[in-house]
Structure 1
């Protein structure tokens, strides 16, 4: 399981918008088509670069506004495995904290080398500790 905790010099509301608003997500995360922020809603995207090598399919499991965003994470073209991504936020008008986890990566083992936990760890660390931080604190 991957767990990352990160503090930001940005409001809790700004962090929430950055992780749930597709217009903002494309500036630091992935280019995701708009979706309704409600349980059962699905969203898909590919890795950046235009190769469209890895389809990502996510289904929202739980939403508590400005507190929790939880969704499944799978690569249906590469694996039957399903994992779970959880974004928990706390904070106030000036500072916020993200407690992030990605569980069940081992369920995608049969997809090959690109789906190893260390690759996910590196990717999530870069996204959360650099891309998101830079986006929020610019």
Structure 2
């Protein structure tokens, strides 16, 4: 699968956007409310379940790279399914605005027969989280 790339500009500082994507309390408000733990430190691991219809997806995250207010790289897998990916959040600040580019790269294919793993589903999911949920969260919490 070719990488999924989502870009969004926010009327917020890089520090504010960084806090929204790395502070556990803020992440729970726009991202996944049941994230168990998260620290923007290499080696930090998170494990939490997301239900989709009949299926459960136990998310397994590990932070692998951090450059504060600029770049966050997370390894992303699922306990129930083969496959491996990396999600990169990159921030660029210019004149009180911050551009976030999210890139999701599949390192090892996920099962083709699971609709949630199709490229279109991944694209739509990231657009929802970045372009709707995070954007709305940052607008409300200026």
The answer (yes or no) to whether the contact 2:24–2:39 under 8 Å persists in 1 is no
What is the alpha-carbon distance in structure 2 between the residues aligned to residue 110 and residue 5 of structure 1? Answer: 26
The alignment's TM-score, normalised by the length of structure 1, stands at 0.89
RMSD: 2.1
Where does the alignment leave 5 or more consecutive residues of structure 1 unmatched?
A: none
User: 1:66 maps to which residue?
Assistant: 69
The structure richer in strand per residue is 2
User: 1:94 maps to which residue?
Assistant: 96
The structure richer in helix per residue is 1
User: 2:6 maps to which residue?
Assistant: 4
Aligned length: 136
SS in 1 for 2:110: helix
Closer/same/farther in 2, CA of residues 54 and 111 from structure 1, 3 Å limit: farther
The alignment's TM-score, normalised by the length of structure 2, stands at 0.87
Moved over 6 A (4+): none
Closer/same/farther in 2, CA of residues 128 and 65 from structure 1, 3 Å limit: same
User: 2:78 maps to which residue?
Assistant: 75
